[in-house]
Structures are given as C-alpha cells and as structure tokens.
C-alpha cells in the first residue's frame, strides 16, 4: 500500500458515493447512464470473486464489499426505485460492442487460463471502457449537471492516481502489471477531454457542463 493507491481508493469511493447520493437526494437518475452502472457492477462482481477464496487484509475485504454493495444499490435505484426518471432513449450506447471484444481479449491475453484469472482479466479490460456509455450519453444530450461531472472527475482522478501507483511500485518494488497498466492508460485517455472541460467550465461556476452535440 502506498499514498497513490490509498488516494486512488478514496477518490474511487468518493465518486461512487457522490453518484449514489445524487440519485437518492434528487430522487432522479436523469443524466445518469444505467448501462455504465451495470457495467461497473459487472466489473466489481467478476473482480472480487476472490472474496470467497482468499483473504488479503481487512481493508481490502471491506473496500471490496463496499464497492459491490454501492454498485448494486446504485443500479437498483436507476432501474427500480427511480426508473421513471431514467432516460433510456439517451442511454443508447451499444454495450455489446464493449462486452464481446473484452470477453474475447480476456481469453486471449491473461496471466493464467483459469476461471478466476480470466474473470479478473475481464474485469480489468471492462473497467477501462465501462465509462463510455456515460460519456456517450453526455455527448448525446449536450450537457451534464455539475454533480455528475464531479462524479466523473473523481472517477478519472482515481485512474490517474492508480497509474501513479503502478509507476511507484515499478520503481520501488520492481513490480509491473502489464494488463492493469495498459488498461489504466486506455481508461485515462477517455477522460482527457472531460478533464479539460471540467477545469475550464465547471470549476468556473457553471451549473452544467455543455458539450458539443454529435453531428
């Protein structure tokens, strides 16, 4: 554990809590991609199956359980409790274009051809693209509420900090996880334009972040 890993975990948790509270307090999931949240729930499910097979630390176990509970709680708010506010027409990204390649790649590129290892690899690859339905939805509607952009900012910051964690571990421990690093770089790239708009528009006091509409 190092400061970058710990800070990344905190940012990840803050992002998830921000989204959950936004939906709960406003009693609306308008502007939120249910598809992205289902993908993230799938990420946590396939990654944390080792909860039943191994114990790393109390911290590790608690964080895994919290991520899983919040992920499925958020999905339930979107598709059940506040489903009348869910904008399914705008949340139209074809997730099969993500799931099929990710599943195929996880069978081809992994560290061990075992069920748990393949599912772990699947979760790493899927996390790198799980935010795309949300970004696509924002682009399609043309704007995003500030609270939604705060969620995306902390989610992106979590990935940046995790990249710093991998750099630190490589230089200090000599440890390098190619699958996690490459996937993390891909995911961070998706946030680059968003980070620019976040700092130039949202932090200047605009209630919503306007984005160019697709042609």
Successive 10-residue mean pLDDT values, the chain, 215 residues: 93 96 93 95 96 90 96 96 93 94 95 94 95 88 75 90 92 90 87 72 57 48
According to the model, what pLDDT value does residue 212 have?
52
Q: How far apart are CA 134 and CA 122, in angstroms?
A: 20
Q: Is residue 215 part of a domain?
A: no
Is residue 183 a contact partner of residue 130, using CB atoms and an 8 Å limit?
no
According to the model, what pLDDT value does residue 70 have?
97
Q: Is residue 214 part of a domain?
A: no
Q: Is residue 58 part of a domain?
A: yes
CA-based torsion, 96, 127, 138, 101: positive or negative: negative
Domain count, the chain: 1
Q: Is residue 193 part of a domain?
A: yes
Q: What's the pTM value of the predicted model, to 2 decimals?
A: 0.89
According to the model, what pLDDT value does residue 214 have?
45
Q: Is residue 14 part of a domain?
A: yes
Q: Is residue 213 part of a domain?
A: no
Q: What stretches of 126-181 adopt beta strand conformation (E)? A: 143-145
Task: State the residue range of the domain holding 104.
Answer: 1-208
Q: Is residue 2 part of a domain?
A: yes
Is residue 182 a contact partner of residue 25, using CB atoms and an 8 Å limit?
no
According to the model, what pLDDT value does residue 197 have?
67
């Amino acid at each position: 554990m190092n400061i970058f890993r710990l800070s990344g975990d905190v940012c990840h948790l803050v992002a998830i809590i921000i989204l959950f509270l936004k939906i709960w307090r406003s009693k609306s999931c308008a502007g939120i991609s249910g598809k992205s949240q289902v993908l993230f729930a799938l990420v946590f499910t396939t990654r944390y199956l080792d909860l039943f097979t191994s114990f790393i630390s109390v911290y590790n176990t608690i964080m895994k359980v919290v991520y899983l509970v919040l992920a499925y709680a958020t999905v339930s708010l979107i598709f059940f409790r506040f489903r009348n506010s869910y904008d399914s027409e705008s949340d139209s990204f074809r997730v099969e274009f993500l799931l099929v390649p990710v599943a195929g790649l996880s069978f081809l590129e992994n560290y061990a051809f075992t069920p748990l290892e393949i599912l772990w690899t699947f979760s790493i690859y899927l996390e790198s693209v799980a935010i795309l339905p949300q970004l696509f939805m924002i682009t399609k509607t043309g704007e995003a509420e500030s609270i939604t952009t705060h969620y995306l900012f902390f989610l992106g910051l979590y990935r940046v900090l995790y990249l710093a964690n991998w750099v630190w571990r490589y230089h200090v421990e000599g440890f390098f996880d190619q699958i996690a690093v490459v996937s993390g770089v891909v995911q961070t790239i998706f946030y680059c334009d968003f980070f620019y708009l976040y700092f130039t528009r949202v932090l200047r006091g605009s209630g919503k972040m306007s984005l160019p509409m697709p042609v």
